[in-house]
Structure 1
Amino acid sequence: MAEEKDLAGIQRGHWQDTYTAHPGMYGERPSAPAVHAVGVFRSAGARDVLELGAGHGRDALFFAREGFAVQATDFSSVGLEQLRSAARAWDVEERVACAVHDVREPLPLPDASTDAVFAHMLLCMALSTKQIHALVGEVRRVLRPGGVFVYTVRHTGDAHYGVGTTYGDDIWEHGGFAVHFFPRDLVDDLAVGWSLDEVFAFEEGDLPRRLWRVTQTLPR
Structure 2
Amino acid sequence: MAGSEQELADAQRRHWQSTYTAHPGMYGEQASDPAVHAASVFRTAGARDVLELGAGHGRDALYFAREGFTVQATDFSATGLEQLHEAARAQGVEERVATAVHDVRDPLALPDASVDAVFAHMLLCMALSTKEIHALVGEIRRVLRPGGAFVYTVRHTGDAHYGAGTAHGDDIFEHGGFAVHFFDRDLVDALADGWVLDEVHAFDEGGLPRRLWRVTQTLTR
**Shorter-chain TM-score tier:** over 0.9
Counterpart Cα distance in 1 of 2:108 and 2:54: 12
Task: State the AA in 2 paired with 1:116.
Answer: A
1:152 aligns with 2:167: no
1:10 corresponds to which residue? 11
Cα RMSD (Å): 0.2
Task: State the AA in 1 paired with 2:196.
Answer: S
Counterpart Cα distance in 1 of 2:101 and 2:110: 13
User: How many equivalent residue pairs?
Assistant: 220
TM alignment of 1:1-220, pairs within 5 A: 1-220=2-221
TM score, norm. by length of structure 2: 0.99
- Cα deviation 1:30-68 (Å, max 9, x = unaligned): 000000001000010000000000000000000000000
- Report how far residue 165 of structure 1 moved: 0.2
Counterpart Cα distance in 2 of 1:6 and 1:104: 14
Which aligned segments of 4 or more residues in structure 1 are displaced greater than 4 angstroms? none
Counterpart Cα distance in 2 of 1:27 and 1:197: 29
- Report how far residue 119 of structure 1 moved: 0.1
Q: Secondary structure at the match of 1:215?
A: strand
- Report how far residue 108 of structure 1 moved: 1.2
Q: Secondary structure at the match of 1:60?
A: helix
TM score, norm. by length of structure 1: 1.00
Task: State the AA in 1 paired with 2:120.
Answer: A
Q: Secondary structure at the match of 1:173?
A: strand
